[in-house]
Amino acid sequence: MTKSAIKVLIVGGGIAGMSCAIELAKLGADITLIDLDPNWRVYGAGITITGPTFRAFRQIGIMEEVIAHGFACKGARTRTSQGDLLAEVVEIGLEPGVPYGGGILRPLLHHILSERVKAAGVTIRLGLTLDSITSSSDGVEVVLSDGTAGAFDLVVGADGINSKTRALIRPHGPAPRFTGQGAWRVLAPRPPDLDMIEMYLGPAIKTGVTPVSRQELYMFVLTPEIQGEIIDPAEQSARLRHALEGFGGLIGQIRDTLDVHSPIVYRPLEALLVPLPWNEGRVILIGDAAHSTTPHLASGAGCAVEDSVVLAEELRGRADIDEALAAFSARRFERCRDVVETSIRLGEMELSGAPGEDQGRVYAEANRRLAATI
C-alpha cells in the first residue's frame, strides 16, 4: 500500500491531533480529523515551551511562527519567595536556531496549528467522537457519535487524558490518577525587564512566571490539594491569594491584583501511562491518550508533537502499517515513561518538602535526557 492511499481518522483536535494531521498530510494521506467540541475551542492560559518542544515545533514546521507570536528566551532565573535573585542560567538552544525556552498563549498556538491543518487539506468534522470501533487485519470500521460510519486504514486516538478511543480499545486499562497537587495559571501584563522564565522558591509551593508575548506573561502555581475537591470559580481568586501569602517580587504584585474577575485557570493534576502496546490492530494512541503528564517538566505538549513526528517517520519508512505502529510505540515508550514518572516524582518531592537542591538535581538530569534527539 502506498502512503498516499492511506485513509486516516484522527480523533481529537488538540496539540497531538493537529500535529499528527500536519505530519501525516506530508505523506499524502487522506485524513479526517474529528473533535468533540463543535466550536473547536481551546482552554487554558499559556504554555511553557522548553528547548526540546521548540525543536519538535521546528520539525513540524511551526517554530518560527510560534516565536513570532509567543516569546523565546535564552535562559531562566531562580528567585527567593521575596523575589531576590538566587541564580541565572544563560544557555544556547539545543541546536542552532532553537531557543532555550519560552512560552505562548494556548489560543495562539491552537490558531497556528489549526491554520496549518486547514491548509494541508484535512477534512475537519466537529462535534463528534467515536461510538464504536471494529478492527480487522487490514483496517478499522468506526461508527461516530452522529451515527455515520466509515472505514479507515488507520485510526489515531489523540483525544486526551479521558480518551474515548482508549476506553474502546482498552476498556480495562489504567485510569488517570490524581497526584496530590493542583495547577493554577493566571494571565498578567509582562514587565519589560522580564526576559526569561523565572521560578520563585516558596516554603511549601512552587510558583513562577513565563513570558508568553511581548505584552503578557502567565503565572503558574502548584499547590497541595485534596482529591475530588471542587473549587468554585467564585472562590478561586481568594484561594490563590491565600496560597501566595508571603511571596514578594513580581509574584506578590500579581497576587495583589487578583479578584473575582481575574482570568484564573485551575485544574487538579492527574497522570497516566498506558503500558505497551499502545495500539489495538490499526488503532493507535498518541499524546495524552497514551501518556499524560503533570507540568513539572513542561514537556506534555512537546511529547505530543514528538509522537506525531515519529509516527510519520515510521509510516514513511515501512511498507507495513502494523510494523510501523509497533516501531512507533517501541521508540516512544521509554522517553514518555521518563517524562511522566519524573514529573510525578518532582511533584512528590514538592509535597514532601524535599530540599530545593535535590529537586533541582532531578530536574536538571531529566532535562539532559530530554535534550537527546528523538
Domains, in order of start, for the chain: 3-176+271-370 (3.50.50.60)
* 96 or 116, greater pLDDT: 116
Q: What pLDDT does 4 receive?
A: 54
Q: What pLDDT does 357 receive?
A: 87
Q: What average pLDDT score do residues 316-339 get?
A: 97
Q: What pLDDT does 44 receive?
A: 79
Asked if 43 contacts 185 with a C-beta cutoff of 8 angstroms, the reply is no
Contacts of 309 (CB under 8 A, 6+ apart): 19, 23, 56, 59, 60, 374
Amino acid type, 13: G
138 has pLDDT over 50: yes
Helices (H), 143-299: 164-169, 233-243, 249-257
pTM over 0.85: yes
Contacts of 6 (CB under 8 A, 6+ apart): 24, 27, 29, 30, 153, 154, 315, 321
At 90, the pLDDT band (50, 70, 90 cuts) reads confident
204 has pLDDT over 50: yes
Q: 64 φ, ψ to 5°? A: -65, -40
* 158 or 364, greater pLDDT: 158
- Mind listing the pLDDT tens digit for each residue in 209-247? 999 999 999 999 999 999 988 899 999 999 999 999 999
Q: 278 φ, ψ to 5°? A: -90, 5
Q: What average pLDDT score do residues 338-348 get?
A: 97
Q: What average pLDDT score do residues 336-362 get?
A: 94
In 3D space, the residue among 140, 109, 122, 136 whose CA is nearest the CA of residue 45 turns out to be: 109
What cell numbers appear for 362 in the block? 532531578
Helices (H), 221-271: 233-243, 249-257
Q: What pLDDT does 351 receive?
A: 93
Contacts of 117 (CB under 8 A, 6+ apart): 13, 18, 21, 22, 25, 33, 124
Torsion of CA 281, 315, 20, 273, to 10 degrees: 50
- Mind listing the pLDDT tens digit for each residue in 30-79? 999 999 999 999 887 899 999 999 999 999 999 999 999 999 998 999 99
How far apart are the C-alpha atoms of 287 and 278, rounded to whole Å?
Answer: 11
